[in-house]
Amino acid sequence: MDIVTAHDRPSTPGQAIEIQETLRGLVDLEDRCPQEIVTVTGLDVAYDEGSGLIAAAAVTLETSGFRVVEKRSVVSRVSFPYEPGLFAFRELPPLLDALRALDHVPDLLVCDGHGLAHPRRFGLACHVGVVTGLPSIGVGKTRFVGEHDEPGGTRGSRAPLLDGGEVVGAVLRTQDGVKPVYVSVGHKISLENACRQVLRLAPSFRQPETTRHADRLARDTLKEAL
């Protein structure tokens, strides 16, 4: 897979924020996904703070039946400090290496993290979408910014996630009676479509199948490296 928007690696938080401020203007909020989304790639990472290692995983599934098309994982050393709002600069380098190793370009990327639901409206899902040029979604397990009402208790119920009066995502119930997930747009997809795709990818569990597969691969890869 090619990277269409490259940038230097920052060495300080200030430089990282400048990159986010510059690149967020490239985020496309229009629906530019293929009419039929056939393949989706899940992205996730696993850390070992003691060793300074990070494992990144990219797993591509077919949306029909969730067959694994291909999977790639990479282990590297964390190259950026822990800074809230700047996680992408820790996770993106190995994630991009895993994406580059894929033989097929997916129709959609699903990140374990946030997109517009970010203080500067440029979370990991936005960042990976802009640099790859692919439609992307962020699906977070916990809230990072904003406030919301509790969605209904049944699958498909949702409530807007608001930050400063702006809708930055949706709080989506993927299964009856389980905790909701936080869905936000990354790039080239609408929030409505993003929620629809997340429900499609989560037929049985709280998290999308893409995230479940990528999480498992990242953890296994890190365990082997250690």
pTM of the model: 0.95
Could you read off the pLDDT of 64-82 as tens digits, one per residue? 999 999 999 999 999 888 8
pLDDT digits (tens, 9 = 90+) for 159-192: 999 999 999 999 999 999 999 999 999 999 999 9
Q: At what angle do helices 124-132 and 88-100 cross, to 10 degrees?
A: 40
State the chain's mean pLDDT as an integer: 95
- Residue-range domains of the chain with CATH: 32-225 (3.30.2170.10)
Distance from C-alpha of 1 to C-alpha of 132, rounded to nearest angstrom:
8
225: part of which helix (H) or strand (E)? Answer: helix 209-225
44 is in an annotated binding site: yes
Is 107 annotated for ligand binding? no
Cite the DSSP H helix spans in 66-207. Answer: 88-100, 124-132, 191-201
